[in-house]
Structure 1
């Protein structure tokens, strides 16, 4: 926090707010949008740590309310896979240089975008075993604080309603945020400066999520799916360009 210029802090809060709107609308948009965009201002480790803590804070707030409406059948498998994958991804985060980590996040978002775009009829995302989906999400959770792409493609291509899918994603991401926080603290990836930055951004996240939830209630299935596609596309593009620029 002490090393940030006011303009940088303003950009961070704006990213958190806008990503919160997407999260409130889709149930998953926050980390997918926030990590690549925050990595333009912060180093990837700091961006991952702040997003993990913000996801945990808002997950503890709204996951209990989402449980009653969630599609619960795959959740035990998804969470079990994430339990295995998250520590491994967090350990890899300590070893990888920043730009390859950005490219991995971009590739994951691009693959999920393709799977959701193709839909359940032509994509294998909904047919994959949820345990493997959870493992892949856990690896990305630890590596880039973006557990979303595999599980989003799996849930959005399943034969469930938008409200049940959104609620299931909220519950799953609360669980992965808890796993990532425990792993990050244990491995020294998350520290007190990250907690201070997350605390500064939490009001912006809550305000954005409240606006997004209102948009979801007023919207339609078409709006929901288009918003999901837009989140994945912007995330893949931003992270990919930043990673390629660093390698050039």
Structure 2
């Protein structure tokens, strides 16, 4: 175990990975979404996509303690649990896609999903009809496939929640609970597919504390009366992450 910790500490760009983890935690606690959108583009500039996905999944343990307890009381629990179950069943298909593609392709996929999500959110797209159970199942399935393939479990779910008519507090709570629990469930599924390495677990464990503290800070900053402000801040950080994570930078910055 000692040599794994030493090797992880010696990784080029680890300081950037830790820094982006802190930023991701603040955004997650503050806006209720965006942690993977912030983390993945930058982290995958330094470590393989599958390692970044697994390590970030481990950090979800911090969210389980820091932000989920409060969000659970505000969430639409029956529908969120349904969507978590469907997304988990769809995750293996996305993981199979991840295994079949090269690193550069998957990094561009991460950035593509991130950029499309950001543009859609900034355009303020919303739907008026109340979602049916079938619609929730479809959204959850699509979320699982995209999440397994790119590590971005949130984009489709975020669009679904922010595009609806729920109040800010409930939409944020639904997203927090869904993303945290689905992220945790990604870890054993990756292990079953041979993509969970000891190095990824060690890195994830190292990131738990800074991520947990940062998410608590973000949660303390959340004010449901300042919806426009917290969305703008999250959008800016996500846009910076996209630029920093472009594959044109090579193996690191």
Q: Distance in 1 between matches of 2:126 and 2:14?
A: 44
Q: Distance in 2 between matches of 1:168 and 1:217?
A: 16
Aligned to 1:168: 174
Tell me which stretches of 4 or more aligned residues in structure 1 moved more than 6 Å: 243-246
Q: Distance in 2 between matches of 1:234 and 1:136?
A: 26
Aligned to 1:211: 217
Residues 24-43 of structure 1 mapped to structure 2, 5 A cutoff: 24-43=29-48
Residues 87-98 of structure 1 mapped to structure 2, 5 A cutoff: 87-98=92-103
Task: Check if 1:108 corresponds to 2:113.
Answer: yes
Q: Distance in 2 between matches of 1:16 and 1:209?
A: 10
Partner SS, residue 2 of structure 1? helix
Task: Check if 1:182 corresponds to 2:188.
Answer: yes
- Confirm or deny: 8 A CA contact 2:59 2:204 kept in the other structure: yes
Evaluate the alpha carbon distance shift between residue 107 and residue 148 of structure 1 in structure 2; reply closer, same or farther with a 3 A threshold.
same
Task: Check if 1:136 corresponds to 2:142.
Answer: yes
Q: Distance in 2 between matches of 1:93 and 1:141?
A: 10
Aligned to 1:9: 14
Evaluate the alpha carbon distance shift between residue 186 and residue 202 of structure 1 in structure 2; reply closer, same or farther with a 3 A threshold.
same
Q: Distance in 2 between matches of 1:57 and 1:179?
A: 14
- Confirm or deny: 8 A CA contact 1:141 1:176 kept in the other structure: no
Q: Distance in 2 between matches of 1:148 and 1:93?
A: 17
**Structure 2: gaps (5+ residues):** none
Q: Distance in 2 between matches of 1:39 and 1:6?
A: 13
Bigger Cα displacement from structure 2, 180-189 vs 214-223:
214-223
Aligned to 1:62: 67
Superposition CA RMSD, Å: 2.7
Q: How high is the TM-score relative to the length of structure 1?
A: 0.86
**Structure 1: gaps (5+ residues):** none
Aligned to 1:45: 50
Q: How high is the TM-score relative to the length of structure 2?
A: 0.85
Evaluate the alpha carbon distance shift between residue 121 and residue 207 of structure 1 in structure 2; reply closer, same or farther with a 3 A threshold.
closer
Q: Distance in 2 between matches of 1:6 and 1:190?
A: 18
Q: Distance in 2 between matches of 1:60 and 1:183?
A: 22
- Confirm or deny: 8 A CA contact 1:82 1:138 kept in the other structure: yes
Q: CA deviation at 1:61?
A: 4.6
Residue number among 188, 201, 204 corresponding to 1:198 in the alignment: 204
Residue number among 146, 149, 152 corresponding to 2:158 in the alignment: 152
- Confirm or deny: 8 A CA contact 2:75 2:177 kept in the other structure: yes
